[in-house]
Amino acid sequence: MPDQVPGTVEHVLTVHCPEAHGLVSAITSNLTQQGCDIFDVKHFSDRFTDEFFIRCHTVSEAGTATVESLTDGFAPVAEQHDMRFRLVSAQRRTRVLVMVSRFSHCLTDLLHRTRIGELPIEIVAVVSNHLDHKSLVEWHDVPFHHVPVTAETKPLAEAKLLGLVERYDVELVVLARYMQVLSDELTRELSGRCINIHHSFLPSFKGAKPYHQAYARGVKMVGATAHYVTPDLDEGPIIAQRVIPVDHAHTPADLVAVGRDAEMQALSRAVKWHAEGRVVLSGNRTIVLV
Ligand SMILES: Nc1nc2c(c(=O)[nH]1)N[C@@H](CN(C=O)c1ccc(C(=O)N[C@@H](CCC(=O)O)C(=O)O)cc1)CN2
């Protein structure tokens, strides 16, 4: 995460509202009147849905603006334009719980990128239905929770997960190749705050063994898709995707190996953008303000 200039404070405002005339001016002038300078702004007007989206990254002299004061000062604009908004400190780190089964590459990548400060998150816990990665997680000084799952015990296992989400005050759950289907109830509870990495370039090759499906189809690219989790398997709003060229000489095992890089890149981008307040849901699509 970029360092904050001494003597200043930074905030991020993300807004979603019905389209209207003069929204950029209304939002940016409000922040300016509250003593903010805006050094990064991304916005989008969706002409099909008549929705407006904006993300403003602001800087103020220390002591002149807080989340509370800016929120109070922005409230009249938000009410006038029926805005849903999130205003946070730019230095805040999203509290993340990571879930993993046997494949460790995405978990390892998230732990490493967090450790070196690339992701504005704190991994507050890791949950797995296997014990394979307990030592890796605890080497990173992150609590590891083994929650085994069978068809019979899934309701109890999901209750334990929700207990951990509450205990650690989790804001985002990340399925880092966690190979269990979440119940409809759990996906609704985590709606908009649970990200999965699917190991194919969706909507191609949903479901099990996508690399074997891709091999059989003779593809010339493999990919990965990070998406929000919904009751419909692998159908949730897409946040980030990556593809990597392959050819006829790649075996299914080669495709699995090549695909790991795409999975790690897609998932880490999705987590970063979510944590930075750059992703806004619009129906079954996302608007990503990067
Ligand atoms: N409700 C949802 N749950 C999950 C989603 C989702 O989009 N909605 N994504 C999956 C990840 N996934 C593919 O990316 C996936 C994981 C697991 C399975 C599956 O059939 N699992 C079996 C158990 C398999 C095992 O024990 O090894 C099962 O749950 O019965 C399919 C796709 C994460 N969950």
Total domains in the chain come to 2
Pocket residue to mutate for ligand 1, from 179, 186, 195, 284, most atoms within 8 A of Cβ: 179
Structural domain span for residue 164: 94-288
Specify the length of the chain in residues: 290
Q: Is the pLDDT of residue 52 over 60?
A: yes
- Decide: 77 in ligand 1 pocket, CB within 6 A: no
Is the residue at 254 inside a domain?
A: yes
Choosing from 33, 57, 89, the residue where a domain stops is 89
Boundary of a domain, candidates 37, 58, 89:
89
CB distance 225 to ligand 1 below 6 Å: no
- Same domain for 135 and 64, yes or no, is no
Q: Are residues 100 and 71 in the same domain?
A: no
Q: How far is the CA of 179 from the centre of ligand 1 (A)?
A: 5
Position in ligand 1 atom list of the atom nearest CA 236? 7
Q: Are residues 182 and 276 in the same domain?
A: yes
- Cβ count near 132 (within 10 Å): 14
Straight-line distance from the first to the last Cα atom of the chain, in angstroms, rounded to the nearest whole number: 16
Decide whether any atom of ligand 1 lies within 6 Å of the 173 Cβ: no
Shared-domain flag, residues 179 and 281: yes
The answer to whether residues 157 and 272 belong to one domain is yes
Q: What is the pLDDT of residues 258-267, one digit of tens each?
A: 999 999 999 9
**231 close to ligand 1 (CB < 6 Angstrom):** yes
Residue 64's pLDDT is what? 87
- Nearest ligand 1 atom to alpha carbon 235: 7
Cα–ligand 1 centroid distance for 251 (angstroms): 24
Nearest to 154 by CA among 126, 182, 191: 182
Q: Tell whether 3 is covered by a domain.
A: no
Q: What is the CATH number of the domain that holds 13?
A: 3.30.70.260
Residue 29: band (very low, low, confident or very high) from pLDDT cuts 50, 70, 90: very high
Percent of the chain with pLDDT over 70: 99
Residue nearest to atom 13 of ligand 1 (CA): 198
CA 166 to ligand 1 center in whole angstroms: 23
Strands of the chain, DSSP E:
8-18, 37-46, 51-61, 84-89, 94-100, 121-128, 144-146, 172-175, 194-198, 221-228, 238-245, 279-282, 285-288
* Residue 1: inside a domain: no
233 lines ligand 1 (CB under 6 A): yes
208-245: per-residue pLDDT in tens? 899 999 999 999 999 999 999 999 999 999 999 999 99
Condensed to tens digits (0 to 9), the pLDDT of residues 114-133 reads: 999 999 999 999 999 999 99
Any domain includes 272: yes
Closest ligand 1 atom to 151 CA? 30
User: Which segments within 139-278 are labelled E, that is strand?
Assistant: 144-146, 172-175, 194-198, 221-228, 238-245
- Does the pLDDT at position 273 exceed 90? yes
Which residue's alpha carbon is at the smallest distance from atom 6 of ligand 1? 233
Q: Are residues 101 and 67 in the same domain?
A: no
* Ligand 1 centroid to residue 268 C-alpha, Å: 20
Ligand 1 binding pocket mutation candidate from 101, 152, 180, 239 (most atoms within 8 A of CB)? 180
For the whole model, what pTM was predicted?
0.96
- Confidence band (pLDDT; 50, 70, 90) for 192? very high
pLDDT computed for residue 2 by the predictor: 62
What is the DSSP annotation of 52-107?
EEEEEEEEEETTS--HHHHHHHHHHHHHHTT-EEEEEETT--EEEEEEE-S--HHH
Dihedral, CA of residue 118, residue 123, residue 127 and residue 131, to nearest 10: 70
| Catalytic residue positions, numbered | 234
- pLDDT of 35 above 60: yes
Whether 173 and 278 map to the same domain: the answer is yes
3-state secondary structure of 269: helix
Same-domain status, 31 and 168: no
Residue from 138, 177, 178, 120 nearest 2 by CA: 120
Question: Which of 128, 181, 206 is the best mutation target for the ligand 1 pocket, counting ligand atoms within 8 Å of the beta carbon and taking the most?
Answer: 181
Work out whether the CA dihedral 66, 58, 94, 119 comes out positive or negative.
negative
